[in-house]
Amino acid sequence: GLRKHGTPVVVISHNLPQVIELADRIIVLRQGRLVAELARGRTDLEEVVSYIVGSKGPTHLSSATLEGP
30-60, pLDDT tens digit by residue? 888 899 999 988 999 999 999 999 888 766 5
Tell whether the model's pLDDT for residue 68 goes beyond 70: no
pLDDT at residue 61, as a whole number: 44
69 or 14: which leads in pLDDT: 14
Report in angstroms the alpha-carbon separations of 45 from 9, 17, 21, 30.
Answer: 20, 7, 10, 16
pLDDT at residue 69, as a whole number: 40
pLDDT at residue 27, as a whole number: 93
